[in-house]
Structures are given as C-alpha cells and as structure tokens.
Amino acid sequence: GETLTQVLRRSRLPVARALYMVRQVLKSLAEAHSKGIIHRDLKPDNIFVCEVYGEKDFIKVIDFGIAKFLESGGQELTQAGKMFGTPRYLSPEQAQGLPLTPASDLYALGVILFEMISGRPPFIAEDPIAVAIKHVQERPPRLAEVAAELALPEPVDEFVAHLLAKKPTHRYQSAEEVMEAVDDLLAVLGQSLSG
C-alpha cells in the first residue's frame, strides 16, 4: 500500500473515488470517537491506501500518536500554549488551542477531501503559521472556485463547505452523520459503494 499523500502526488481523484475513500476514513473515526478518542492529526500521510484480497482503495487510518481521550464535561484537551497537529489540516479551534470535539477531525477530513477533489488544499501559504491563521480567519474557497473545470455537482460543493464551516457547531457533528451524507452524494452521483 501507500499513503494518500503518495496517491495525491500523481493526480487528484474522481469525486466518487474520493467519497468512497472518505467513507472508510469515517468508519475509523466513528469507532475512535465512540471510544472518546479524537485523532487530532488527520492528514493524507496518516491515511494508508492498500489493496486487500482484490479490493482496491481499502483504507486504514494510522498514527493515533497524538490522539487524546475526550474528558467528560468537555474539558480542554490541548495544553496551554501548545498546538498539536499539522497546520495544513488543523481545524480553526485546534489552531487556537481551544477544546476539540469529533467535529475537529471532521474539519480535517473536509480539508483532505477538498485536496483529493481539487488537487490542492483550501489554504496555501509559505509559512505553516500563516496557514493556521487562514484556517481561523479566512473563508475557505468553494471547490467550484478552484476547480471550475470539474463542473462538480452543487451538492458536492455544499457538502465540503459544510465540513469546512469555521464554527464546530455549524459542521456535521458525527462521523455517522457524514457517512449518511456521503451515501446520499454517492446516490446522487449514481455510484454504488462497490465501485
């Protein structure tokens, strides 16, 4: 197998393939979140794409090294003054050292999906701190703005925009909820989960 980073170096992905892969990432996140674990560093380097018994694009989410258990009562998970994670994929709340929820991982997945479909992340800057600031302060571009040539269906653009909402409460709240939305999108695209 190989990392999603290696896959994306070759080319961006067709929407249906990207959604199929994201759906599998969501299964891993749903399991982790159900146990009170937030990944905190979801990025293409931590998504392993392999072939298992002839099934292509079998996904494994790896490196829960900085994952933390959610504490009851929603207490802060980030040490004061420290930011963990990769700036390109940080949620706005993570970039600010605020409490994290499952919606934080879902934001990172939205950044990854944006990159899978468009061929570039939503925010680009030479300095990693500048990228983190953009996550906090700038409206993410729409897929239609950066990849107009793809003529993406509006529901796909809306879905990614919902994942990239600045406020965690404005995003999907669970991996299961996002899986349902992915299934709806795949139905709209006329695709089956088997390919």
**Maximum distance among all alpha carbons in the chain?**
47
Q: CA-to-CA distance for 84 and 188, rounded, in angstroms?
A: 37
Helices 154-163 and 102-118: angle between axes, nearest 10 degrees: 140
Residue 63 bears catalytic tag? no
Q: Where are the beta strands (DSSP E) in the chain?
A: 2-3, 37-38, 47-52, 55-61, 68-69
Q: CA-to-CA distance for 58 and 51, rounded, in angstroms?
A: 6
DSSP structure class, residue 170: G
DSSP structure class, residue 127: S
Q: At 2, phi and psi to the nearest 5?
A: -155, 165
User: Which of 41, 45, 127, 183 does the annotation list as catalytic?
Assistant: 41
Residue in 39, 19, 179 with CA at minimum distance from that of residue 105: 39
What is the set of active-site residues? 41
